[in-house]
Amino acid sequence: MFDKKSLENIELIIDNHNEVNGDALNLVSSYYLGVADVLESRIMDISDEEISMMIQVSGKKIYRTIKFPNTFKSSDEVVTFFYLCLAEARKKAPENYPKTRIEIQIEKTLNLDTYITKVKKKRIISSNIIEITFYGGLESLPDLKNDAFMYFIIHKNIDHKYPENFVMQDFRELNAKKDNPYSAAYYTIRSFKDNEIDVWFVLHDHPGPLADWAEKVTEESEVAIWGPRTTFTPPEGTDNFLFIADETAQPAVLASIENSENKGIYRCIFETQDKSSQFECHDTNNCIEWIYRNNDPAGKGSELSKRIEELEMKTDNLYVFGAGEARQISSIRKILKQKFNLKADQMSFTGYWKRTD
């Protein structure tokens, strides 16, 4: 039997796979389950025993299950097992079968490096965002531009000195054990200069090790960062952009716009707490519209969805980038998809964090 947290995760996993990983589901249906001529696959349900799938083949729907080797207790076990099924399916697929989105993401992580860098200075951006500039140790960090993001591995002792050869694998090994002194989360490079990066940390009302660290660190504190990767990938010829972001994703949006060589129409809908958390920014095209949550907690604001529901826009050459709280962003993706009938490559929606209460 799954616990409450896993049950909530399962809901998001089903949603996410059905919405954005249809290519991986089709690969699994075809070469793990051995169904011929698959047109579309969807996950209907995930229990602690199996994944139930609906598979559309020409003229009919068929139903299949992927049995787990034992009764699973957590959603993490389901995720790992699905990746194993995908790897098995890949072994049996013809050589020219296109790579799925999940496989491309996994490949991108294989050759990433870990960098040890130091805090140079801190600056207040708004009532709940603090900018930290990191310097040194970044000479070979590639500048991917767009919404490049890194995995920040912090130590609970802010004066900790990292071993010179500390790498992501060390964190993974420690993370599998009890009493790991390190914590980690993804953050976006807001701006990139020589051997220096600026990062905006959202200070939130839950006890979170990264937000807490960002508040407490001082000059010369060290951090290990692993990456970079990006998700902002508009199709060629895009000249119409819609960005939807809470505070955590606003750095990604601003960096993507500033780094983009595309000329076109940019429209940003930024959700924030209130006027005090709205920051000053160089918005020459007047393309930012601010939506306040006011008394609603982060991730549960109702004003943003209301605004998206009444949105009017042209969809020619449109690319939508949305990121923020996982459930909130998933419901916004559904509203937009239904309202504007958008194609998969016109949208990139990512849950940047998940509300746990």
Ligand X SMILES: Cc1cc2nc3c(=O)[nH]c(=O)nc-3n(C[C@H](O)[C@H](O)[C@H](O)COP(=O)(O)OP(=O)(O)OC[C@H]3O[C@@H](n4cnc5c(N)ncnc54)[C@H](O)[C@@H]3O)c2cc1C
- The residues of the shown chain that bind ligand X, judged by CB under 6 A, are 149, 183, 185-188, 200-202, 204, 206, 208-211, 248, 251, 298, 352-356
Q: Which is nearer to ligand X, 35 or 199 (CB)?
A: 199
Residue 42 makes CB contacts below 8 A (sequence gap 6+) with 18, 22, 25, 53, 54, 55
Smallest distance from ligand X to CB 302, Å: 16
Amino acid at 116: I
Q: Output the CA–CA distances (angstroms, integers) from residue 332 to 96, 201, 218, 240, 259, in the order listed.
A: 35, 24, 38, 19, 25
Q: Which is nearer to ligand X, 231 or 315 (CB)?
A: 231
Query: How far is Cα 87 from Cα 2, in angstroms, rounded to an integer?
Result: 25
Buried b or exposed e, range 107-126, using 16+ CB within 10 angstroms: eeeeeeebbbbbbeeeeebb
Q: Which is nearer to ligand X, 149 or 340 (CB)?
A: 149
Q: Which is nearer to ligand X, 55 or 184 (CB)?
A: 184
Smallest distance from ligand X to CB 244, Å: 15
Q: Which is nearer to ligand X, 137 or 299 (CB)?
A: 299
The phi-psi region of residue 260 (left if phi > 0; otherwise alpha if psi is between -120 and 50; otherwise beta) is beta
3-state secondary structure of 174: helix
Smallest distance from ligand X to CB 248, Å: 4
Smallest distance from ligand X to CB 216, Å: 12
Smallest distance from ligand X to CB 279, Å: 13
Q: Which is nearer to ligand X, 29 or 128 (CB)?
A: 128
Smallest distance from ligand X to CB 188, Å: 4
Smallest distance from ligand X to CB 151, Å: 9
Q: Which residue is nearest to ligand X (CB)?
A: 208
Helices (H) then strands (E): counts for the chain: 9, 15
Q: Output the CA–CA distances (angstroms, integers) from residue 158 to 102, 161, 213, 215, 317, in the order listed.
A: 35, 9, 7, 11, 47
Q: What is the DSSP letter of 140?
A: T
Q: Which is nearer to ligand X, 115 or 187 (CB)?
A: 187
Contact 321, 295 (CB under 8 A): no
Query: How far is Cα 60 from Cα 58, in angstroms, rounded to an integer?
Result: 6
